[in-house]
Structure 1
Amino acid sequence: MRKSSLAGLSALALTGGSLLSLATPAQAADATVLYVRQMSTACTDTGPGTLAQPFCSIAPAVARVTAGQTVDVGQGTYPERVTIASSGTPEQPITILASNVAILSGATAGFVIDGQHDIVLQNMRAKGAVDVPALDLRNAAGITIQGGSYGMASVSTAPAVRLTGVTRSTLRQLVASGLALVGGVTLDAATTGVVIRSAIVSSGSTFKTADHSIGIRVDGPGNTVLNSTVGGFTGGGIEVGPGAADTVVVNNQVSNSAGVGIHNRGAAGTAITNNTIRDHCFEGIRVDGASTGVSVQNNVLITNGVGSQQHCDPSADSTAVIGVHDDAGKMTVIDYNNISQPGMNYAWNGTRMNLDAFRTVSGQAAHDKETGLTRDHEDSANSAAPGYQSTDRAGTARADDPAVPNTGAGPVTYADRGATEAVGTPIAGIDATPDLGNSSVAVDASASRAGFVPITSYVFDFGDGTVVTQDKPVASHVYSTTGTYTVSLTVSGSDNRSDSASLNVSVLRRTGTIGLLSLVNLRYAGSPAAGLGMMADQAALGATAQLDLADAGNGQVALYSRATRRYLTNGGSVRPVTTAVTETEKFNLLRNADGTVSLRWGGTNYVGVPSGTAQLTATATTIGTREKFYRVNVADADRSFKAGANGRYVTAESGGTKPLIANRTSVGLWERFDLVDLGNGQIGIFARADNRFVSAESKGTLPLIANRASVGAWERFTLIRNADGTVSLKAAINARYVTAENAGAKPLIANRTAIGPWEKFTLG
């Protein structure tokens, strides 16, 4: 009780003190929060602990704190071992919390609570301790550890967390870890009424050190290990000692040790329920010694007792998955467990046997299953088993899968075995197809999977404020401005379970649609599927080789594969991968002096063709033949020429071995040409008959023929569009027009100085 003001003045008079000298300490003592800010220039360990003048270290603040107060620790690395020597009350606990990343570091780093009660330690961290635990609780009660991590040095000789004589306390969501820990969390024989909930206890042990290290060791009665994750220890995962009567081990995931997963070592009344136990060298669950009244139910055991694993002693092959030894069979219940596959999975008094034999000798395991079926654990647990929880390790309520028969026992016949309940949440699957021509995107959620009930709602958020809710999986949207948007999808069933997914989509301005014809082999570069590398292996500019050029800003382009609906990205090879454009998807499209183009990525590397059967890469630092491509606008591919002189189509006669002549009445392969954009208004004519360029042979003095593997001066033409809709071709080498000589009776030749009927063609 606070003294009256009169009493305070009387005390002051008796001591001869100054009223002013007592003012500051009184304010600090009355403060609700004491602040520790190592990084503050105003901090002092002798000050009031206000936010304006905080403590520099944790220990001075803890020495000052009283019931109902909080020590707020700010960011920093504190070379301290802090002993909390004051107590709170159940109604007004002492709270030590980290409001930022605060780490106690050093060979003795950690917290000690000895003989105190009603203290909350929240989100604190300690690392590097060697011979003392990072968290040491002794003869304490009403302690709550909420979050935080407690890590040990690799040469540690003490467990990370040690409880000695602790009662009515909770360790929730803490992390206890270290390389080759000698122990994770230990509860001695005088510790009772402690709940370890949702903790992560792990060792990075190589299984060659820290002999017989245990993740969580319980030696006192009435304690609970719930919803936690334990793994990586030499001796085993969770061990319950002889004096630990009425221990509850429920909803835990226990994995990867060189010993036993969960070992009940002589304790009475232990409930080992709904755990998932996997990858232990010896038994997944072992009950031995003088154990009585033990319940082993609803557990899922996967790949235990396998000595062939790298970290195991080969003798582990002689162990079972569930073993009951010594006098432990007295009143022990083994039932409703799943083992991943059939075999000699059980042991009774040291003898390995199969499930049928175990049932005969023990009278137990009537509902155990040996199966690898992924859904066989669903809706088949005993909800009346000791320690059973109405929620799984993640806090999810039990759910009934309508596709699975309810074969469980107890009041909830559809509870699942193992630590995780299958809840039938739908899975959102999202794909998007941007259309650069009209600045739109089509979002397809057809890949979404229903949970226990069908999907009834699809909510599409297009990232620009437009949200569409409907019962169909496909939606489209037109954007008013170009850019990159985050498109989100939420799918829901009639049971209100939902899932969400998102992806980024770039809707950019299209500046053209092209094909890239490799100079090195005169094949188009394309990819048949998203994620597969681009290869210059296609004879024609088909769908898989068509690329939209998108304006990526700052003079750069992105290339969008129409076939795969993905932008090309450079990730070791050039592949159509993403729906969004980042720096990895940006290129410079450069025009070379010979009319070819090159793609530069990252400002230094050029895209090249290693070979016709190899994926395009962006590794060259200079432009050579393999880094050159001819640009073909898609609209100019696969064209034909009908001569005005005779109404016949121009053909690369005899597969290109003879001069071009206008003598065909229909269009086949020999009559098809791709018009290559050479820049400066010039084109090359690429004959599909033989994949060669048309040349004005001998500087135009001889007929045109498709026999060149690259474009030189003789292979350049200007395409002139006439007023009547026809086109004419002008050879660059002699500035003469191409004519269908003698009304088309003779081969085409570039020898006319003016355009007449014989020099006109209809472009098809």
Structure 2
Amino acid sequence: MRLRPAVGLTAAGLIAVLGLPVPVAAAEVTTLYVGAGTGCSDTGTGTRAVPYCTIGAAAEAVEPGQTVRIAPGRYPEQVTITRSGTPGHPITFRGEDPGRPGKVSEVVVGTSVPGPTIAMKGVHDVVVGSMRLRSTEGAVAVTDSSAVTVDRMFASGPEKTPTTTPAVALSGATSDVTISRNSFVSTGGVLVGAGARRTLVTTNEIDGSAEAAIRVVDAPGTAVTHNTLSGNRGPGTVLAGGSGDAVLKNNVFSSNGADAAWSGLELSVSEASTRGTAADYNSVHGSGQAAYLWAGARHTLAAFTDATGQGAHDTDVTVDFPGSHSTYSPLYEGSPAIDSADPSAPGALGTDLLGLPALDDPKVANTGPQGGVRDRGAYEFQGLHQVEADPDLNQGPYPLTVNTTVRTDESWGAPLSYTYDFGDGTPPVVTTESELAHTFTAKGDYAILVTATDSLGRRLASVPASEGAYQARISVRDPGPLTAALAVAAPGPNLERTFDTSGSTSPWKITKYTLDPGDGTPAESSIFEGFGHVYAEPGTYTATLTVTDQAGRTASATAGVTAAYTPAGFVPVPPKRLLDTREPMMGRPWPLGPGESRVIGMDAPAGATAGVVNVTATNAGTDTHIDVRPWKGRPTGTSNLNVGPGQTVANLVTVPLDSNGGYFEISNNAGAVDVIIDFFGYYEPDAADRFTPLTPVRLLDTRQGGAKVGPGASVPLQVTGAGGVPAGAHAVVLNVTATEPTDTGYLAVRPSGQDGRPSTSNLNFRPGQTVPNQVIVPLGADGKVEIFNNSGATHVVADVAGYYGADGKGLFTPVTPVRLQDTRTAGGPVPAYGSRSVQAGGAAGVPADAVAGVFNLTVTGAGADGHVIGHPDGSAVPGTSSVNFTAGGTASDHAQLPLGANGRIDLVNRSAGGMHLITDLFGYFTNA
């Protein structure tokens, strides 16, 4: 059942429906005003011009017969009422009338401080109504008071953990209190405490109470009538102690007693409370369980009537509430609650909880006594229960002709007439037509209000303009052109850009915004302002916005867009395996097929610009190459590693990430191949560790007086303090080479201090091979790494190429992978012991002040075994290696190399034969 909030009630309405005496002639001051905000004063007299700021200030000044009128707003206070009215001249506190049935008052009162929001003690002749109350310990507390009315209040607690404190609590020598037309949700319900006399609880809705909805304890003469009580953890109503002479009539009980201790119990009356108590004309649905507890015995409906003589006209049926309904009519047509109540029950008010009158439903037989037309529960069903005004235009230049269509929900078949008020000062139009055209001739904002009247005299208005998105509002503007405006907002993560189109204007409503991002992707259309777009690669683009208005006109605007990655520091992580297609997926291996791509996620946060992974290919069915690129990125014409049948090849890859961080894509060119991916770190704009490139220095060569690393063994390598790596470094860039291995196996490089066999690898080898790979790995706490050999025995060589630490300056910017050099298509092969210079700075978007680059070097068609040495142009050739190759083979290696002052690197062929050399760029470093 959907919860329905209560509404406000005027003081005059209260006097009429509650039978209060009519006041005598007005005093000099009949109304005190409260309005939080500028221009108020608690030291004044509460006039309309200068109202009180707080309700408490008005409570200290109000006199019998006066009304405290509270303007919409928030009042963070707890109000204590200590002044009283007189019989026929009550003091009244009420919120501003909310304007229509079903609308909750916008007067919000209360604080998070423990204690009731409104407290009364020792007072009489007081009316409080039409407010939203918030409190951690109840909404209203009445003690030792009389002739008090609490009407049309709304209070709610937390839905998942309702408070057990009553929303309204009566205590002490309290008498003749009326609790009417309130809506309490997830509260402690209503408590009529010991000592209270002649309390009327009528026409309330109480849902989701942590206790019984209504608890009456040692309080005789209580009348509980016309309430809708549902979904409460305790029974709908409990009469405990000595609470006799009570009346329980015309209520709807549904789905109460949810807690196991109550188990579907709806009505509980103690033995002492049965004396003089009458229960009848209630709808009590116990979900198949005994819903009554009377004098200690549980009963179903039939047994209850037979045993007690009570409930002769009760019904055990479900009073459903539609899942979607207008707030004007919570019941549905044909409900058993309609026209079935006892009109003589105490406290039968003139209107229901929503302020609607009782009407005779012509489709339902009147089953209440005396042919009454009252419905059971807190709501009265209305045949006319929804009116909507739907103009075909809501904006345009004058003169603007608007056709308004009225849609109604009217279930009784009564003829309707309509009163159209267009809000522009023209006289209202009364007609039986449900569609009417009207021409607005002057600039302004207008609200269309349509009131429908049926033949029974029932009147219902459409939603007024004060109620936000559902209003029928017309904006009439000066005639003028349609203009488009496009601006680029602050950059989002990575290559995401946000466009601001809010500057586009037209006197007509703009019906469509179409953005061409300028990168060849399809244009994006929306009926709303603003776009976000993720570019596939860095660059400068021209975006075009086209707008269309309701008159069919179009206009366009352009804006230049620069999509670029933010320079970033490095975050090393302990090596972690992300993918191994050799592991069964759904019971079978899952190799990468010919032309197949796969999206891989890594543990990198949103905003990370690039990831560092080691990619290994094995079990290839044919010669192929693997491409690693940003997710949804276009193929770049570059490659990261080449592999053939019977080979296992590994290579380090630095790959740009998608704008959400953590995702990239791999693709296989031909055949089927298994792929293993290990994760070593990521670049993030706010990361503290920055790169310092070093002229490569050899840190380890077990061939120089050392023994090979045996199977299952590790060789420790001290990195800090050697080769220019300082003690504060957190990660290191190494070129690691396995040479002269005796068996097929792999090397794994990891921080020192790790236990067990590593779960990742960095390079793979076969007997007699020389295999290099670059490694980026965190350092252990002692500044060391360890190099683990899986099988056989092999010599190990390690060269340091740079490090990451807080003292570094280099920030990394990825680029869409680009080929800088391919001697197969230009320049011819590199001769034996020859070299080639490659321009990186100033090429492919790399700035001239870049200090290092991230490359992939591939050697193919070599005439003899050898290696390539990469170093900054203009520096001495170091005794290290970047790529090792064999005659006739193809070998690739990741190379993170410093740039010369001219932005170039030199690549030296250290072999007795010529070879082809391919150089791909993946990013660059600049100094912060």
Question: What TM-score, normalized by structure 1, do the two folds share?
Answer: 0.50
Q: Relative CO higher for 1 or 2, CA cutoff 8 Å, sep ≥ 6? A: 2
Structure showing the higher helix proportion among its residues:
1
Larger radius of gyration: 2
TM-score (norm 2): 0.42
